[in-house]
Amino acid sequence: MFIVTGGAGFIGANLVRALNAAGHDDILVVDELTNGRKFTNLAGARFADYLDRDDFRERLQAGEGFGKVEAFFHQGACSDTTEWDGRYMMDTNFEYSKDVFRWCGQKGVPLVYASSAAVYGTSTEFREQGSGEVPLNVYGWSKLVFDQWLRRQVGEANIPVTGLRYFNVYGPHEAHKGRMASVIHHFSRQIRETGKVRLFAGSHGHGDGEQRRDFIHVSDIVKVNLWAAGRTAPGIFNVGTGKSRSFNDAARAVIAWHGKGEIEYIPFPDDLRSAYQAFTEADLTTLRAAGYDGAFTSLEDGVRLTLDAGAAAAA
């Protein structure tokens, strides 16, 4: 059996589908379905059981078993970077993750968990251990605190634990995320609705629309998760393409797919200036040194795959 928390969410649902494609359907999906529309992310997927997040946590804390578990993929979290309820964020992203780690240690189950490039804030240094770990919001801080806590535990753990710091992920099954969905999703919606993609004018030393991010397709995130599940040593790794691309590049790729549209530049909001990541680019040195040699999907190919999938789902 495999356990996937956040299994009805964006990355979790794609991971469940990838496990299905590899011939696995003995999967326990854990999520919280207050937003019942998330069910569509798993429509057609195969899994053995579903548990509500809170019920599952109670069973973890009680030390209950779920049979022989090959790997635990902990994707569940509050990923809303605009959420400032620190108590809620730390309980959901930090305390819950500690419960997961302790259960995996008791049961001898390999753990792969989702961290985030939000731990780097406005830094231009994207190494897994260094002075660049300065988050801008409580979401990024909650992820960093767990990474730091885990580093203190790993020496005593009897399981391999792998943390994956996701950069800017996009792809199918993210529509439910609303404003937290990727810019690829929003750019496509803007073209359908207005014929224009709205980008920020120049800021932070970048020209109009030239702010840059490391955009990574969700299929590559899934591949790294599956690779990490087979590791025998602990580690925390950046997961991006290793190449930043501008928002102009992303917008042009979406416009090319639609065969129409134009870019409109809007003033950069003053209240966002001090809390905005204008540049991200994963340093993949540690990931490559650990043995991951997979290629990453180009932005243009990833946009095409994403929008093709959306069009097929809507047909």
pLDDT in tens, the chain (315 residues): 999 999 999 999 999 999 999 999 999 999 999 999 999 999 999 999 999 999 999 999 999 999 999 999 999 999 888 899 999 999 999 999 999 999 999 999 999 999 999 999 989 899 998 788 999 999 999 999 999 999 998 777 788 999 999 999 999 999 899 888 999 999 999 999 999 999 999 999 999 999 999 999 999 999 999 999 999 889 999 999 999 999 999 999 999 999 999 999 999 999 888 889 999 999 999 999 999 999 999 999 999 999 999 998 887
Annotated catalytic residue 177:
yes
Do 69 and 193 belong to one domain? no
Inter-residue contact 273 to 189 (CB < 8 Å) = no
Q: Are residues 41 and 125 in the same domain?
A: yes
Residues 233 and 186 in one domain: no
Q: What pLDDT, on the 0 to 100 scale, is given for residue 215?
A: 98
Statement to judge: residues 272 and 285 lie in one domain: no
Residues 157 and 293 in one domain: yes
Domain hosting residue 272, numbered range: 175-212+245-278+304-314
Give the Cα separation of 218 and 19 in Å (integer): 14
**Phi, psi (5° rounding) for residue 306?**
-65, -50
Phi, psi torsion values for 162, nearest 5 degrees:
-125, 120
- CATH code at position 230: 3.40.50.720
Look up the CATH number of the domain holding residue 309.
3.90.25.10
147 in the same domain as 59: yes
Pair (231, 117) in one structural domain: yes
pLDDT of 46 reads 98
Do 196 and 128 lie in one domain? The reply is no
Nearest one of 4, 10, 104, 108 to 47, comparing CA atoms: 4
Kindly name the residue from 96, 113, 120, 139 that is annotated as catalytic: 139
Answer yes or no: do 208 and 286 share one domain: no
32 and 141 in a single domain? The answer is yes
Same domain, 208 and 310: yes
Q: Can you point out the beta strands (E) in 171-269?
A: 196-200, 212-213, 215-217, 235-239, 245-246, 262-266
**113 a catalytic residue:** no
- Structural domains counted in the chain: 2
| Residue ranges of E strands in the chain | 2-5, 27-31, 49-52, 71-74, 111-116, 161-166, 168-170, 196-200, 212-213, 215-217, 235-239, 245-246, 262-266
273 and 150 housed in the same domain: no
Q: Which of 50, 107, 177, 265 is catalytic?
A: 177
